[in-house]
Structure 1
Amino acid sequence: MSWMARSASLNGLRVFETAARHLSFTAAARELRSTQSAVSQQVRALEEQLGLPLFERIYRGVKLTEAGHTLFVSVQESFAGIDRTIERLQHRHRHPHVNILTDFSFAAYWLMPRLPSFRERYPHVDVRIVTNQGVLDWRTQEVDVAIVFCDERALAGGVPLLFHEDVFPVCSPGFLQQHGPIESIEALSRAPLLTLTADQGQRWLDWPSYFRQLGGIAYHESSELTFNNYTLLIQAAIAGQGIAMGWSGLVDDLLDKGMLIGLSDMRLRSARGYGVVDARPDAPGEAKRALWEWILECAARQT
């Protein structure tokens, strides 16, 4: 940027924009609550600074020169951009927002049922939820807080734990009426099981690992029903289409409502679990702090 361009005052450009929009120094003076002579002087000063004629003085008015028209378009776009930025900043100040990244199942079964209490406590904070079913990488997305399924290394590295991976089979009451009680690991292995795939590198417990750790049974997944979305899998279990693996913390409300029955005698707990991550530690804020503390508070009440 040349010294000449830098010397053009913001006020002079604002006067020029107003005069160019009205094509009248008199109308510009009325809008600016100034005088026609003051507007004319400021426009002339700007022309002298730039070394360019911006207006042609004609009978009962003015018209833009080619340079004036080019500058007018640029100044209008710039002022509009400044106005939009100021509006966004003011809105953000009045209504701070916080972005949460998590997976579909956690959002649907843990976060959404509890979120009204946060909004009641902090009505001025806008919460935006970003979901993904695959491996969650908060470093590549515009998020403030990430709630992710963590392995032992991440939890040992200081990621605050919300709750451990605590799993047990769940099914609908109608399924048990149709198929009879499931009272042993062997009986469970012969039942129609709903499978959640881990084709994107997720580390949650699957049926083969579950049977191997709990009963020493070499179970091989059958071709029952397979899903890559836990929410859909749970809906299939509610519909009586098979037995799902239920995660404590996610299916609790469905158990309380009687939509699912948990075979809690076959519970298995791992060292993994859901943790909460500050995705932007270099960007502190009251909204993020409030959400962070609320998440940990909810998790503490659950345990």
Structure 2
Amino acid sequence: MRRLPSLDTLRAFESAARHLNFTKAANELHVTQSALSQRIGALEDELGFPLFVRRGRQIELTQRGGVIAAAMGRAMAEITRAFSGLEEIEAARTLVISVLPSFAARWLMPRMTRFHAQHPDIEVQVNAEGRLVDLTTSEADLALRFGTGRYPGHQVDFIMDDYVLPVAEPALLASLKAEPGKLDAQRIAQLPLIYDSTVNRDASGTDWRSWFEHAGVANPPPSTGLRFSQADLMLQAAAQGQGVALARYSLVHDDLVTSRLVPLTREPMLRARYDYYVVCLPEKAQRPAAVAFREWLIAEARAFMVTRDKTVPPVRGPAA
């Protein structure tokens, strides 16, 4: 059985046969034209017959050269398909998710170990983004959004609803001689309030003014307290005793469980006008990784809502 020639000489021949031009082949392989000619000459010497016919500045394949070139073309096409298949397999097991930073840090991340336990073959990249990404141009496959659910041209699945309640660090209440869960809205209005500035620019109904209206306070205090551009920062400030935060329950649940933060009132919570949704383009919706994550996320959210609704005060509807 004839021994296969070296890969260097075969690569030189394949490129030259495809271009029928030594200069172009040399440039493609990043070698000099002289080096390319030497490799093809070495291959011809090893085979014992010419592969090209030189006609002035042009070259043509000999009959035997044409047979080898056709076989190599088929082989290279098969190798290319194999590598493309590997890339598709890799892409199928990778999922990029765009999530609001505070929701990512306080609700999604503590649960991700359960997703990895169920789907160890899926690699998830979480992009924490405060802006609303355009999925037609973004690298994200899915987006978790807090909004109305109206996203034309996308597949939209409801995740869960949410509510807001005032919370504070226990020591702050102790310094004010106030007991957790026993303050009315008028008393809360007199405390140092801190703000998530983003909710004042949307229609989610999760701002202090909406809550005071919901609680029946006719003249809510002016918005003069500390302001933060992310809910997570606002809740960290509250946990450090800097004031009272109006928190979405989904973001503050773990702090309530550990008593890092405590509710100020037993009044019914205010339902947000926005809900959480998972959004994706229709052409990506049926990717196995996307389906697996979406189904897992919806199941996690349902379990969370069941637990929440058993442990929190009765709920009023959203503010008008």
TM-score (norm 1): 0.72
Amino acid at match of 2:252: V
Cross-structure match for 2:69: none
Checking the alignment, whether the CA contact within 8 Å between 1:28 and 1:39 is kept in structure 2 is no
Q: How does 1:20-39 map to 2 (within 5 A)?
A: 20=31, 23=35, 36=45, 38=47
What is the aligned counterpart of 1:90 among 76, 86, 94?
86
What is the CA–CA distance in structure 2 between the aligned matches of 1:213 and 1:277, rounded to whole Å?
Answer: 30
Cross-structure match for 1:67: none
Return the offset for 1:114: 0.8
Return the offset for 1:53: 6.1
Checking the alignment, whether the CA contact within 8 Å between 1:167 and 1:247 is kept in structure 2 is yes
Inter-CA distance 36–93: structure 2 relative to 1 (3 Å threshold) = farther
Inter-CA distance 287–28: structure 2 relative to 1 (3 Å threshold) = farther
Q: How does 1:145-156 map to 2 (within 5 A)?
A: 145-151=142-148
Checking the alignment, whether the CA contact within 8 Å between 1:149 and 1:273 is kept in structure 2 is yes
What is the CA–CA distance in structure 1 between the aligned matches of 2:114 and 2:58, rounded to whole Å?
Answer: 61
What is the CA–CA distance in structure 1 between the aligned matches of 2:218 and 2:264, rounded to whole Å?
Answer: 18
**Which deviates further from its counterpart, 213-222 or 85-94?**
85-94
Amino acid at match of 1:183: L
Return the offset for 1:112: 0.7
Cross-structure match for 1:57: none
Cross-structure match for 2:4: none
What is the CA–CA distance in structure 2 between the aligned matches of 1:188 and 1:262, rounded to whole Å?
Answer: 11
Checking the alignment, whether the CA contact within 8 Å between 1:135 and 1:202 is kept in structure 2 is no
Cross-structure match for 1:273: 275
Inter-CA distance 227–133: structure 2 relative to 1 (3 Å threshold) = same
Cross-structure match for 2:7: none
Residue 17 (structure 2) pairs with residue 12 (structure 1):
yes
What is the CA–CA distance in structure 2 between the aligned matches of 1:269 and 1:213, rounded to whole Å?
Answer: 10
Percentage identity across paired residues of the two chains = 24
Q: Deviations over 1:84-133 (max 9, x none)?
A: x9767625514621111121111101111111111222222121112222
Inter-CA distance 228–285: structure 2 relative to 1 (3 Å threshold) = same
Checking the alignment, whether the CA contact within 8 Å between 1:207 and 1:221 is kept in structure 2 is no
Checking the alignment, whether the CA contact within 8 Å between 2:159 and 2:275 is kept in structure 1 is yes
Return the offset for 1:167: 0.8
Checking the alignment, whether the CA contact within 8 Å between 1:160 and 1:275 is kept in structure 2 is yes
Q: How does 1:256-295 map to 2 (within 5 A)?
A: 256-263=257-264, 265-266=266-267, 267-278=269-280, 280-283=281-284, 284-295=286-297
Residue 228 (structure 2) pairs with residue 227 (structure 1):
yes
What is the CA–CA distance in structure 1 between the aligned matches of 2:95 and 2:45, rounded to whole Å?
Answer: 48
Checking the alignment, whether the CA contact within 8 Å between 1:135 and 1:201 is kept in structure 2 is no
Checking the alignment, whether the CA contact within 8 Å between 1:29 and 1:35 is kept in structure 2 is yes
What is the CA–CA distance in structure 2 between the aligned matches of 1:301 and 1:37, rounded to whole Å?
Answer: 71
Checking the alignment, whether the CA contact within 8 Å between 2:185 and 2:217 is kept in structure 1 is no
Cross-structure match for 2:208: 207
Return the offset for 1:151: 2.3
Instruction: In structure 1, list runs of 5 or more residues that go unmatched.
Output: 1-7, 55-78
Instruction: In structure 2, list runs of 5 or more residues that go unmatched.
Output: 1-12, 61-75, 306-320
Inter-CA distance 270–199: structure 2 relative to 1 (3 Å threshold) = closer
Cross-structure match for 2:159: 162
What is the CA–CA distance in structure 1 between the aligned matches of 2:199 and 2:262, rounded to whole Å?
Answer: 28
What is the CA–CA distance in structure 1 between the aligned matches of 2:208 and 2:125, rounded to whole Å?
Answer: 33
**Counterpart secondary structure, 1:142:** coil
What is the CA–CA distance in structure 2 between the aligned matches of 1:294 and 1:39, rounded to whole Å?
Answer: 64
Residue 295 (structure 2) pairs with residue 299 (structure 1):
no
Q: How does 1:89-238 map to 2 (within 5 A)?
A: 90-94=86-90, 96-151=93-148, 159-181=156-178, 183-198=183-198, 201-204=201-204, 205-238=206-239
Checking the alignment, whether the CA contact within 8 Å between 1:147 and 1:276 is kept in structure 2 is yes
**Counterpart secondary structure, 1:198:** helix
Inter-CA distance 137–26: structure 2 relative to 1 (3 Å threshold) = closer
Q: Deviations over 1:184-210 (max 9, x none)?
A: 000011111111113794333100111
What is the CA–CA distance in structure 2 between the aligned matches of 1:256 and 1:235, rounded to whole Å?
Answer: 16
**Counterpart secondary structure, 1:219:** coil
What is the CA–CA distance in structure 2 between the aligned matches of 1:210 and 1:39, rounded to whole Å?
Answer: 90
